[in-house]
Structure 1
Amino acid sequence: MLTHGEIWAAIDKLAERHGLSTSGLAKRAGLDPTTFNRSKRITSDGRPRWPSTESIAKILSATGESVDAFMSLLSGISTTRRTVPLIGLAQAGEGGIFDDAGFPVGTGWDAVEFPAIGDENAYALEITGDSMAPAYRDGCVVIVSPNSPVRRGDRVVVRLKNGEVMAKELKRLSAKTLELKSLNPEHADLSYGREDVAWIARILWASQ
């Protein structure tokens, strides 16, 4: 499983590889110069803050680096590629695609190669439509880890017991309530009772 420290260390190494400070790397990518400052890596209440997939995609584009190259900077992460199941998000609500715990099962899956990660049950979902823009656009592929713990601020995939599947940001998770922030600013935030939720899984990566 990717850790908070490994991701930030990889960003530091990427900046060093190109002879830049982290502020210089952010500026080259068109981001706020403070985006990768060490003070931004911890929230005001002491919790780890994760860099967004959008900011990582922008620094890879700005430096001409590939996802594989970035993965090679992650300590302890193998760069060996493996095949993970792939399905369209619109199909994910169909029966027989996931088990009750949210692990991929059945025969409706395609496949895609991705650098190996620690979760053997990881899978890929292809986004369709623009309901999750600008974070996830049509054709974007997200890598989902059902075994990773979810925390406030994580991008997650949620499946409701009625079959609806969505990608959102986790605002709050309690014993009774799930609160989600919509990625598209034109859509309202959502709240559900835990009894309505089949499962929730963390998004580890997104192509852009």
Structure 2
Amino acid sequence: MRHEDVWRAIDALAAEHGLSASGLARKAGLDPTAFNPSKRTGPDGRSRWPSTESVAKVLSATGTGIEAFASLVTGAPALPRGRAVPGRRIPLIGLAQAGAEGFFDDGGYPVGAGWDEISVPDVPDPNAYALEISGDSMEPVFRDGDVVIVSPAAPVRRGDRVVVRTKRGEVMAKELLRQSARRVELASLNPAHPGFTFGLDELQFMHRIVWASQ
């Protein structure tokens, strides 16, 4: 376990609750500067660990279990980058490339040529596919170059991370804030980026992210 993994997990926990790192510290009753970049290194330039008391307070404040936090630290569930893993092979393209025509059929299932493949642990959905994240709108949870596994068959609920493709060909990875009979409201996990609201008639599909490599 590395210092940066623990700090990344704190950043990810903050983002999942729509907070900055200082906002998370404030929510936990800590000094708002407790998680600032300047507090992550000592005067000698060496990396510092957050205190166990600080971690305990943010877990309590956000209702997060230690197992869930450990998953954020390790990046689990994760697919080792550059190594084959047992299971099955599914199609893979870049997030930006997914906006082009010819990669999905009318039902939102992956079709056509141009897909690469990736080995993943068994995913029960026969139409599952993988997208390589581009950009920083999902940081710190998903970073540029991470690969997410998407399941068209998985039920989508509020708070799920999803991939959305509009009928205009826009493809984005976001968090589902709420869905009504007519509209869908999406949030960027990176608070520096805006959210989006679409009418259901503007969307080609919305699929749930079920796995990620980090």
Q: TM (normalized to structure 2)?
A: 0.64
Rounded Cα–Cα distance in structure 2 between residues aligned with 1:33 and 1:119: 38
Distance 1:167 1:31 in 2: 28
In the other structure, the counterpart of 1:167 is: 173
Cα distance in structure 1, aligned partners of 2:193 and 2:93? 24
CA distance in 2, matches of 1:100, 1:177: 20
The alignment status of 1:144 with 2:159, answered yes or no, reads no
Compute the displacement of 1:146 (Å): 0.5
- Residue type matched to 1:95 in 2? E
CA distance in 2: counterparts of 1:68 and 1:32, whole angstroms = 28
Q: Are 2:134 and 1:134 aligned? A: no
Identify the residue that residue 56 of structure 1 maps to in structure 2: 71
2:205 alignment counterpart: 199
Of the two, which has the highest radius of gyration?
2
Give matches, 1:177-192, under 5 Å: 177-192=183-198
1:88 deviates by 0.3
Higher relative contact order (CA 8 A, sep 6+): 2
Deviations 1:23-44 (A, max 9, x none): xxxx98x9547749xx658xxx
Looking at structure 2, the residues matched to 148 and 66 of structure 1 have their Cα atoms a distance apart, in angstroms, of 17
Which amino acid in 2 is paired with 1:172?
A: R
**Is the 1:31–1:55 contact (alpha carbons within 8 Å) kept by the matching residues of 2?**
no
Q: Whole-Å Cα distance in 1 between the matches of residues 183 and 161 of structure 2?
A: 17
Q: For this pair of structures, how many residues does the alignment match?
A: 156
1:91 & 1:191 partners in 2: Cα distance?
22
Contact map agreement 2:93 2:130 (CA 8 A) in 1: yes
Aligned-residue CA RMSD (Å): 2.9
Inter-CA distance 147–187: structure 2 relative to 1 (3 Å threshold)? same
Secondary structure at 1:92 match in 2: helix
Letter of the structure 2 residue corresponding to residue 87 of structure 1: I
Per the normalisation by structure 1, the TM-score is 0.66
Residue matched to 1:156: 162
- Summarize the alignment of residues 32-181 of structure 1 with structure 2, pairs less than 5 Å apart: 32=56, 35=59, 56-58=71-73, 60=74, 67=78, 80-181=86-187
Unmatched 5+ stretches in structure 1: 1-26, 42-50, 70-78
Distance 1:141 1:66, change over 3 A: closer
Please list every run of at least 4 consecutive aligned residues from structure 1 whose deviation after the TM superposition is greater than 3 angstroms.
30-36, 65-69
Secondary structure of 1:101's match? coil
Residue 153 of structure 1 aligns to a residue in which SS?
coil
Quick one: percent identity of the two aligned structures?
Answer: 52
Unaligned stretches of 5+ in structure 2? Answer: 1-50
Query: Following the alignment from structure 1 to structure 2, what is the Cα–Cα distance between the partners of residues 166 and 66?
Result: 21
